């Protein structure tokens, strides 16, 4: 039996039917059509599916779609408005994405950090992205990109 | 980098590679944006799974729980009745259910089924593929496929696998060793006479080195989505790293002209070598052919780790003959490359590796026997410098050991033995554009190591060639490891073809098929004579496989 789920995705109200047991990741991707959260492990270890639910970062592969009924969801697809968010520009300038697969989840974690702490230390940045695995960059460019936004050193 | 060392390195490039490229560089040394990065940071880069199809079906494989077993029977009756199940594929559904990846380069014997139907040779090998409406339904139905197995003894260690009486992993290689050039059960390198040189050496230094298998672990797991397209074609979105490799493989195993296959890729969520094996594309397309619907076949993370082909394990034995002053006069290798249960790219990795021996050092006597060994482990494949990385680890660790024995600084030892321009390499090519000495000098400078004055003044461009350019006066050869019954599958020569497999029509690449004589326009005339010089065919492009490419 499919369940109707209504939520606010990146500021717009969206509705779709969830399959029994479907997770929020698959619901967002195949039900609603936001393909920015990625599947990497399905068991909450890689962070590629990270989204914000009512302001909190969650691993959408571990959240049942039905639990998102009425929730506010933010994903990487909503960062540009349509001008690029400073974090996106910083990621581009710092070569903070190579294959790009972890990037949407990484950006969501970074945005959540800066929303609660506008001037994080390097350690706080590392802590904030510690749940997001990247296999390409070695993390340093990502940390540098996030710090550059926090310190207002972003190039136009 | 603006310090002196960085400056030196830049000057070195100018000095050593001035003939290789002009100095009018616009990009090197300056930060630049990747062209695909706007898609990455907006989440719009189209990975294979980012394509939506109405009514997409999902494929999951039934896998062997055994390292090695015969398949007695597969019973799908109960699974067929499970909710959402559309079709269950077995080996008999695959048009040409036997392949080896490098057959596209006319190298190797077909050895691996897409879906095994007689025997499995590694844990996780697929024997059936369930296609269902949802992934959860496919998973549930996989549990209901009943397979009767006859477990066989298995072998997981390369040196155990080549002992007499070891379990036979692949029937076509009864000694668990790949056959090179149709002649030898290993790849040979012979240069000079190591045994004679060992007798004249002051020290003999031996070592055993091993590197474990390493999973590439891309964040995106391997997968493909295939769907019927217009005009009797199939579209395939894939995570492959080698789009035309996967296209050629799908065309071969599905016995379908590649003009009917529309492959779309290029956006790869991390590969590192692990996405060249072309397993998902043919299965997804076959599913689309047999159901008439879009089919997704992707590994979950557990499959990526268990059945995704890793960098193969390698074990190396090194023996050096060394003089008191640090000169290495002989080096002997015995290497065992763990191919796992099938060949895939391991045979090629060894050719690459042997071409690399004895490392970047001018050693007048070199010997290598390197074996591509089959075990009941997950088949190995490409990964970042595969074939080179593990033996380099062995060589450089061994160099440190040699330095310790002769009481020399390890950097001094490397400079003393390094290739210089004009030296003869063990694979009988003259070394050029050498830069190890300069790199070692920079390392010493960075590490605060004081080099001996002579070696601090050494240069790759000086003191090479001459006697160091000569081939050995005598090279000791042997017929060790000779095998018979294998036709040469000579990938270096055009027209080489694979031995016929019983019951399987020989695969003929259109590119390597013998040319058909053009009929004379008048008719009845003599056929056009073949050109005097062989036409350069596509196969030649890959001749660097054998080390025959000239620079």
Q: What is the pLDDT of residue B106?
A: 76
Is B39–A100 a contact, with Cβ atoms under 8 angstroms apart?
Answer: yes
Q: Is B402 on the interface with A (CB under 8 A)?
A: no
Q: Is B213 on the interface with A (CB under 8 A)?
A: no
The structure tokens listed for A95 are 């070569």
Q: Which of B99, B146, B52 minimizes the C-alpha distance to B283?
A: B99
pLDDT band at residue B171 using 50, 70 and 90 as cut-offs = very high
pLDDT band at residue B21 using 50, 70 and 90 as cut-offs = low
Which residues are CB-contacts of B169 (< 8 A; sequence separation ≥ 6)? B68, B121, B155, B161, B176, B341, B374, B375, B376
Q: What is the pLDDT of residue B25?
A: 72
pLDDT band at residue B27 using 50, 70 and 90 as cut-offs = confident
Q: What is the pLDDT of residue B158?
A: 98
Q: What is the pLDDT of residue B498?
A: 43
pLDDT band at residue B513 using 50, 70 and 90 as cut-offs = very low
Which residues does chain A have within 8 Å of residue B269's beta carbon, measured at their own beta carbons? 38, 99-101
Domain boundaries, chain B: 4-42, 57-152+217-306, 161-214+310-469
Given a cut of 60, whether residue B540 has pLDDT beyond it is: no
Burial of B4-43, coded b for 16+ CB within 10 Å and e otherwise, reads: eeeeeeeebbeebeeeeeeeeeeeeeeeeeeeebbbbbbb
Q: Which of B384, B381, B393 minimizes the C-alpha distance to B343?
A: B381
Q: Is A43 on the interface with B (CB under 8 A)?
A: yes
Domain boundaries, chain A: 3-78, 86-150
In chain B, what percentage of residues exceed pLDDT 90?
79
Q: Is A48 on the interface with B (CB under 8 A)?
A: yes
Which residues does chain A have within 8 Å of residue B33's beta carbon, measured at their own beta carbons? 92-93, 95
| CB neighbourhood size of B233 (10 A) | 14
What CATH architecture is A86-150?
Orthogonal Bundle (1.10)
pLDDT in tens, B379-412: 999 999 999 999 999 999 999 999 999 999 999 9
Is A39–B31 a contact, with Cβ atoms under 8 angstroms apart?
Answer: no
How far apart are the C-alpha atoms of B525 and B520, rounded to whole Å? 6
Q: Which of B547, B486, B546 minimizes the C-alpha distance to B179?
A: B486
How far apart are the C-alpha atoms of B370 and B481, rounded to whole Å? 11
pTM assigned to the model: 0.88
Nearest chain A residue to B56 by CA: give it: A30
Which residues does chain B have within 8 Å of residue A87's beta carbon, measured at their own beta carbons? 41
On the 0-12 / 13-18 / 19+ scale of CB atoms within 10 A, B324 is exposed
In this prediction, residues B288-309 reach a mean pLDDT of 97
Is A100–B50 a contact, with Cβ atoms under 8 angstroms apart?
Answer: no
Q: What is the pLDDT of residue B488?
A: 57
Is A40–B219 a contact, with Cβ atoms under 8 angstroms apart?
Answer: yes
How far apart are the C-alpha atoms of B464 and B471, rounded to whole Å? 14
pLDDT in tens, B193-213: 999 999 999 999 999 999 999
Among the partner-chain residues A36, A41, A99, the one whose CB lies closest to the CB of B269 is A99
Given a cut of 50, whether residue B355 has pLDDT beyond it is: yes
Is A36–B41 a contact, with Cβ atoms under 8 angstroms apart?
Answer: no
Q: What is the pLDDT of residue B547?
A: 36
Which residues does chain A have within 8 Å of residue B44's beta carbon, measured at their own beta carbons? 35-36, 77
pLDDT in tens, B74-93: 999 999 999 999 999 999 99
Which residues does chain A have within 8 Å of residue B271's beta carbon, measured at their own beta carbons? 99
Q: Is A42 on the interface with B (CB under 8 A)?
A: yes
Which residues are CB-contacts of A92 (< 8 A; sequence separation ≥ 6)? A84, B33, B34, B37, B38, B41
Q: How far is B43 from chain A (nearest CA, A)?
A: 4
Q: What is the pLDDT of residue B5?
A: 41
How far apart are the C-alpha atoms of B411 and B455, rounded to whole Å? 9
3-class DSSP assignment, residue B110: coil
How far apart are the C-alpha atoms of B39 and B36, rounded to whole Å? 6
Which residues does chain A have within 8 Å of residue B265's beta carbon, measured at their own beta carbons? none
What string of DSSP letters covers B177-211?
B--BTTTBSSEEEEES-HHHHHHH-SEEEEEEEEE
Residue ranges of chain A with pLDDT lower than 50?
Answer: 154-156
Q: Which of B311, B470, B489 minimizes the C-alpha distance to B388?
A: B311
Could you give the dihedral angle defined by the CA atoms of residues B397, B401, B406 and B412, in that order, rounded to the nearest 10 degrees?
20
Backbone angles phi, psi at B94, to 5 degrees: -90, 120
Q: What is the pLDDT of residue B17?
A: 64
Nearest chain A residue to B241 by CA: give it: A99
Q: What is the mean pLDDT of chain B?
A: 87
Is B220–A99 a contact, with Cβ atoms under 8 angstroms apart?
Answer: yes
Residue from B36, B42, B216 to probe the interface with A (highest A Cβ count within 10 Å): B42
Bond into B234 cis (ω within 30): no
Q: Which of B4, B3, B23 minimizes the C-alpha distance to B13?
A: B23
pLDDT in tens, B439-464: 999 999 999 999 999 999 999 999 99
CATH of domain B57-152+217-306: 3.90.1170.50
> Given phi > 0 = left and psi -120 to 50 = alpha, else beta, which region is B150?
beta
How far apart are the C-alpha atoms of B275 and B246, rounded to whole Å? 10
Residue from B27, B31, B43 to probe the interface with A (highest A Cβ count within 10 Å): B43
Q: What is the pLDDT of residue B518?
A: 39
- A vs B, Cβ pairs < 8 A, gives 107
Which fold would CATH assign to domain A3-78? Ubiquitin-like (UB roll) (3.10.20)
Q: What is the pLDDT of residue B23?
A: 67
Given a cut of 70, whether residue B533 has pLDDT beyond it is: no
Query: In this structure, are residues B162 and B98 in contact, taking their beta carbons and an 8 Å threshold?
Result: no
Domain covering B161-214+310-469 assigned CATH 3.30.365.10 in the classification: yes
Q: Is B271 on the interface with A (CB under 8 A)?
A: yes
Nearest chain A residue to B39 by CA: give it: A100
Q: What is the pLDDT of residue B532?
A: 42
Q: What is the pLDDT of residue B182?
A: 84
The structure tokens listed for B4 are 């002196």
The structure tokens listed for A41 are 């492990």
In this prediction, residues B427-446 reach a mean pLDDT of 95
Higher pLDDT, B26 or B145: B145
Higher pLDDT, A53 or B2: A53
Q: How far is A39 from chain B (nearest CA, A)?
A: 7
Q: Is B471 on the interface with A (CB under 8 A)?
A: no
Which residues does chain B have within 8 Å of residue A99's beta carbon, measured at their own beta carbons? 40, 218-220, 268-271
The structure tokens listed for B285 are 């397309």
C-alpha separations of B360 from B330, B343, B365, B434 in Å:
14, 28, 14, 9
Q: Which of B355, B418, B50, B325 minimizes the C-alpha distance to A39?
A: B50
Is B31–A104 a contact, with Cβ atoms under 8 angstroms apart?
Answer: no
Nearest chain B residue to A86 by CA: give it: B41
Query: Which H or E element spans position A84?
Result: none
Higher pLDDT, B519 or B242: B242
- B28-42, B70-84, B171-185: range with highest mean pLDDT: B70-84
Among the partner-chain residues B40, B52, B300, the one whose CB lies closest to the CB of A100 is B40
Q: How far is B85 from chain A (nearest CA, A)?
A: 16
Which residues does chain A have within 8 Å of residue B47's beta carbon, measured at their own beta carbons? 38, 101
Given a cut of 80, whether residue B493 has pLDDT beyond it is: no
């Amino acid at each position: 039996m499919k369940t109707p789920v209504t939520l606010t995705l990146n500021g717009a109200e969206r509705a779709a039917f969830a399959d029994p047991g479907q997770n929020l990741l698959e619901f967002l991707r195949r039900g609603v059509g936001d393909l920015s959260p990625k599947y990497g492990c399905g068991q909450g270890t890689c962070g590629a599916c990270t989204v914000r639910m009512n302001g909190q970062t969650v691993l959408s592969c571990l959240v049942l779609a039905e639990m998102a009924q009425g929730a506010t969801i933010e994903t990487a697809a909503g960062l540009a408005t349509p001008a690029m968010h400073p974090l996106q520009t910083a990621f581009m300038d710092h070569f903070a994405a190579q294959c790009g697969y972890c990037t949407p989840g990484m950006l969501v974690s970074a945005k959540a950090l800066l929303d609660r702490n506008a001037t994080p230390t390097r350690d706080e940045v590392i802590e904030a992205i510690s749940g997001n695995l990247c296999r390409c960059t070695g993390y340093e460019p990502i940390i540098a990109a996030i710090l550059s936004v926090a310190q207002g050193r972003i190039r136009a | 980098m603006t310090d002196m060392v960085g400056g030196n390195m830049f000057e070195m490039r100018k000095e050593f590679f001035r003939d290789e490229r002009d100095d009018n560089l616009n990009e090197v040394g300056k930060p630049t944006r990747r062209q695909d990065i706007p898609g990455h940071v907006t989440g719009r880069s189209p990975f294979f799974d980012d394509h939506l199809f109405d009514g997409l079906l999902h494929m999951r494989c039934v896998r062997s729980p055994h390292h090695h077993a015969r398949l007695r029977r597969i019973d799908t009756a109960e699974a067929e009745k499970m909710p959402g199940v559309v079709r269950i594929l077995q080996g008999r559904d695959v048009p040409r259910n036997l392949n080896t990846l490098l057959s596209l380069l006319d190298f190797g014997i077909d050895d691996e089924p897409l879906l095994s139907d007689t025997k499995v040779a590694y844990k996780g090998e697929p024997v059936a593929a369930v296609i269902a409406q949802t992934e959860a339904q496919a998973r549930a139905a996989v549990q209901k496929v009943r397979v009767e197995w006859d477990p066989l003894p298995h072998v997981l260690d390369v040196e155990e696998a080549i002992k007499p009486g070891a379990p036979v992993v692949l029937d076509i290689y009864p000694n668990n060793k790949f056959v090179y050039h149709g002649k030898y059960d290993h790849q040979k390198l012979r240069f000079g006479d190591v045994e004679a040189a060992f007798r004249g050496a002051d020290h003999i230094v031996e070592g055993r080195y091993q590197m474990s298998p390493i999973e590439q672990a891309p964040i995106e797991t391997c997968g493909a989505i295939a769907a019927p397209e217009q005009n009797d074609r199939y579209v395939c979105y894939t995570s492959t790293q080698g789009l035309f490799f996967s296209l050629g493989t799908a065309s071969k195993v599905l016995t379908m002209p590649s003009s009917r296959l529309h492959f779309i890729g290029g956006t790869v969520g991390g590969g590192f070598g692990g996405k060249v094996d072309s397993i998902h594309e043919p299965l997804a397309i076959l599913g689309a052919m047999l159901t008439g619907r879009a089919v997704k076949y992707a590994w979950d993370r557990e499959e990526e780790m268990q059945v995704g082909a890793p960098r193969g394990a390698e074990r190396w034995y090194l023996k050096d003959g060394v003089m008191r002053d640090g000169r290495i006069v002989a080096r002997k290798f015995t290497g065992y490359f763990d191919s796992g249960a099938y060949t895939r790219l391991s045979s090629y990795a060894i050719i690459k590796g042997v071409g690399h021996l004895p490392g970047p050092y001018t050693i007048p006597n070199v010997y290598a026997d390197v074996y591509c060994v089959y075990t009941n482990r997950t088949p190995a494949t490409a990964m970042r410098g595969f074939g080179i990385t593990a033996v380099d680890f062995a060589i450089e660790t061994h160099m440190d050991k040699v330095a310790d024995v002769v009481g020399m600084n390890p950097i001094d030892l490397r400079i003393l033995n390094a290739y210089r321009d004009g030296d003869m390499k063990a694979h009988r090519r003259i070394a050029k554009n050498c830069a190890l000495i300069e790199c070692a000098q920079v390392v010493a400078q960075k590490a605060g190591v004081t080099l001996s004055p002579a070696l601090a003044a050494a240069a790759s461009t000086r003191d090479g060639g001459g006697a160091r350019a000569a081939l050995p006066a005598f090279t000791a050869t042997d017929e060790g490891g000779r095998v018979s019954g294998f036709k040469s599958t000579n990938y270096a020569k055009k027209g080489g073809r694979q031995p016929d497999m019983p019951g399987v029509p020989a695969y003929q690449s259109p590119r390597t098929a013998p040319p058909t004589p053009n009929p004379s326009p008048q008719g009845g005339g003599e056929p056009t004579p073949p050109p005097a010089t062989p036409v350069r065919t596509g196969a030649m492009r890959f001749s660097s496989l054998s080390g025959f490419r000239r620079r």
